[in-house]
Copies of this chain bind each other. A is one copy, B any other.
Amino acid sequence: MRGQDDRQAYDRGTSLFSPDGRLYQVEYAREAVKRGGASVGVRAVDGVVLAAERRIRSSLLEPRSIEKLHKIDDHNGVASAGHVADARQLVEEARQTAQVEQLRYEEPITPEQLTVEVSEHIQEYTQAGHTRPFGAALLVGGYVDGKPQLFETDPSGTPYEWQATAIGGSSDEMETTLEAEYDPEMGIDAAYSLAVSVLTDEEDPDPENVAVAIIDEDGYRTLEQDEIESVL
């Protein structure tokens, strides 16, 4: 049985496997994702809802500036969790990827292709020397060619497609709730209610503490505070 001392021998560089085939730095980067607030994504038949927890540490902080929801292009959005500065780099990478694709093929990138390309970028940071993995995970929601889709990418650079999922702190509990309550036939309104209720999980949640974006046939848009309030 291996103790802590053995583990320490293999977790100092991204270029090393442990004897049992694990990449400790990638696992630690996953811990960085767990340290931040959660984000939730729910796919409806007519769109995708992304919602993100807000942890406002001061009344003087503009909530908008710590939001973890990002428009990528007219048809795709991202909700992030984990190390904020790392997540922002990935969002920037996603935007450039979407723009290049749009210019090259004259049609919008699908959320799947977007997730796959960002994931490859992330993987390279887990294999190259002289760097560290990204300590962030992303939910990518998109609505392209009449098809709503929800993807996740994690610090190893693996893409997953979900009906609904959560990333970040407490995401395990949230996933359990989502599994219990998700209905594949739900419309965007029900999806939106589900996402917000999973994220807030309180008797009397404060609309200030949550941010919501919807991506549907009208494209990407964020919800105003009063729209959120009406759900809570």
Contact = CB atoms under 8 A, between A and B. Distances in A.
Interface of A: 8-25, 28-35, 58-62, 64-66, 83-86, 88-89, 92, 116, 119-120, 122-135, 151, 156-165, 175, 178-179, 182
Number of copies of this chain in the oligomer? 7
Nearest to A165: B60
Contact of A60 (B17, B35, B127, B179): B179
8 contacts: A20-B35, A23-B132, A61-B161, A65-B151, A65-B159, A65-B160, A85-B123, A127-B131
A91 to B, nearest CB: 10
A59 B179 contact: yes
Given A29-B21, A88-B123, A179 B58 contact: yes
A interface majority secondary structure: mixed
Contacts of A125: 127
